Structure 1
Amino acid sequence: MSGPEDRARRTLTEAPTDLLVDRLAAELERSYGITRTELYQVDYRLAVLLPLGEGEPVSGPGHPAWRCFDHQEPVVAAGTGWFPVGMRGERRGVLHVSPVPSDPDALRELDAIATALGHELAAVAATTDIYLTARRDRRLTLAAEMQWELLPGRSRIRPSFSLAGQLEPAYAVRGDGFDWSDDGTRLWLSVINGSGEGVAASMLTSLATHALRNARRARLALADQAALADQAVYALHRGGQHLSALLLELDLATGTMTVVDAGSPRLLRLRDAEVTEQALTKQFPLGMFDGTDYQEQRFLLRPGDRLFVVSDGVIDATAERVRYGETALDRFLRRTGPMEPLDAVRSLIGDLRAFVTGDLVDDAVVVCLDWFGPQP
Structure 2
Amino acid sequence: MSDAEARARRIVTDAPTDLIVDRLAAELLRTYGITRTELFQVDYRLAELLPLGGGESVTGPGHPAWYAFDHQEPMVADGTGWFPVGMRGERRGVLRVSPAPADPAARAELATIAAVLGHELAAVTSTTDVYLTARRSRRLTLAAEMQWELLPGRSRIRPSFALAGQLEPAYAVRGDSFDWSDDGHRLWLAVLNGFGEGVAAALLTSLATFALRNARRAGLSLADQAALADQAIYAQHRGRQHLAVLLMEVDLATGALTAVDAGSPHLIRLRAGAVTQQVLDKQFPLGMFDGTDYREQRFQLARGDRLFVVSDGVVDAAAGRIRYGESALDRFLRHTGPLEPLDAVRSLIGDLRAFVAGDLVDDAVVVCLDWLGPQPENGPDQ
Q: For the superposition of Structure 1 and Structure 2, which TM-score range results when normalised by the shorter chain?
A: over 0.9
Q: Could you list the per-position Cα deviations for residues 312-334 of structure 1 after superposition, in whole angstroms to 9, with x for gaps in the alignment? A: 00000000100000110000000
Residue 62 of structure 2 is matched in structure 1 by 62
The residue identity in structure 2 corresponding to 1:201 is A
Pairwise CA distance, 1:75: 0.2
Aligned to 1:352: 352
Mapping of 1:65-76 within 5 angstroms? 65-76=65-76
Residue 258 of structure 1 pairs with residue 255 of structure 2: no
* Residue matched to 2:49: 49
Name stretches of at least 5 consecutive residues in structure 1 with no aligned partner: none
1:78-157 maps to which residues of 2 (within 5 A)? 78-157=78-157
Determine the structure 2 residue equivalent to 1:204. 204
| Structure 1 SS opposite 2:370 | strand
Task: Report the secondary structure of 1:339's partner residue.
Answer: coil
Computed over aligned residues only, the root mean square deviation of the Cα atoms, in angstroms, reads 0.7
1:2 to partner: Cα distance: 5.8
- Counterpart-to-counterpart distance in 1, 2:95 and 2:282: 46
Task: Please say if 1:374 is aligned against 2:365.
Answer: no
**Contact 2:54–2:134 (8 Å) recurs in 1:** no
Shift of 1:53: 1.3
The letter of the residue matching 1:363 is D
In the alignment, the residues of structure 1 paired with residue 338 and residue 265 of structure 2 have an alpha-carbon distance, to the nearest angstrom, of: 24
User: How far has the Cα of 1:54 moved from its partner?
Assistant: 4.0
Secondary structure of 1:37's aligned partner: strand
- Corresponding residue for residue 222 of structure 1: 222
Counterpart Cα distance in 2 of 1:108 and 1:56: 27
**1:253–1:140 distance in 2 versus 1, CA, 3 Å:** same
Structure 1 segment 210-289 matched on structure 2, within 5 A: 210-289=210-289
SS of corresponding position for 2:85: strand
* 3-state SS of paired residue (1:248): strand
Deviation at 1:56, TM superposition (A): 1.5
Alpha carbons 2:34, 2:99 under 8 Å: kept: yes
> How many Å separate the matches in 1 of 2:53 and 2:360?
30
Q: Name 1:321's counterpart in structure 2.
A: 321
| One-letter amino acid matched to 1:196 | G
Distance 2:243 2:51 in 1: 38
Aligned counterparts of 1:78 and 1:199: Cα–Cα separation in 2? 47
The aligned amino acid for 1:122 is: A
Aligned AA (2:179):
D
Q: Percent identity?
A: 80
Unaligned runs of 5+ in 2: 377-382
| In structure 1, C-alpha distance between the alignment counterparts of 2:231 and 2:194, rounded to whole Å | 17
Off by >2 Å, runs of 4+ in structure 1: none
| Alignment partners' CA distance in 2, 1:344 and 1:68 | 17
Q: Is the 8 A contact 2:37 2:97 kept in 1?
A: yes
2:276 is equivalent to residue 310 of structure 1: no
Alpha-carbon distance in structure 2 between the residues aligned to 1:182 and 1:251 = 10
Q: What amino acid does structure 1 have at the position aligned with 2:337?
A: G
Which residue identity does 1:355 align to in structure 2? F
Q: Does the CA contact (< 8 Å) of 2:164 and 2:345 recur in 1? A: yes
**2:126 aligns to what SS in structure 1?**
coil
Distance 1:43 1:54 in 2: 13
* Structure 1 position 340, deviation (Å): 0.1
2:188 corresponds to: 188
> 2:200 & 2:321 partners in 1: Cα distance?
28
Q: Which amino acid aligns with 2:7?
A: R
Distance 1:64 1:95 in 2: 11
> 1 CA distance for matches of 2:364 and 2:55?
32
String of CA shifts for 1:202-239, please: whole Å, max 9, x gaps: 00000000000000000100000000000000000000
Structure 1 residues 250-289: Cα deviation after superposition (integer angstroms, max 9, x where no partner): 0000000000000000000000101001111000000000
Task: Provide the rounded CA distance (Å) in 1 between the counterparts of 2:58 and 2:374.
Answer: 39
Q: CA deviation at 1:55?
A: 3.7
After TM superposition, the score normalised by the length of structure 2 is: 0.98
Letter in 2 for 1:136: R
**Structure 1 CA distance for aligned equivalents of residues 222 and 54 of structure 2:** 48
Three-state SS of the structure 1 residue aligned to 2:127 is coil
The C-alpha deviation readout for 1:291-342, integer Å capped at 9, x for no partner, is 0000000000000000000000000000010000011000000010000000
Q: Is the 8 A contact 2:51 2:134 kept in 1?
A: yes
Aligned length: 376
Provide the rounded CA distance (Å) in 1 between the counterparts of 2:351 and 2:13.
40
Q: Is the 8 A contact 2:175 2:196 kept in 1?
A: yes
CA distance in 2, matches of 1:37, 1:56: 15
Supply the distance in 2 between the matched residues of 1:343 and 1:365 (Cα, whole angstroms). 15
| Equivalent pair of 2:345/2:368 in contact (CA under 8 Å) | yes
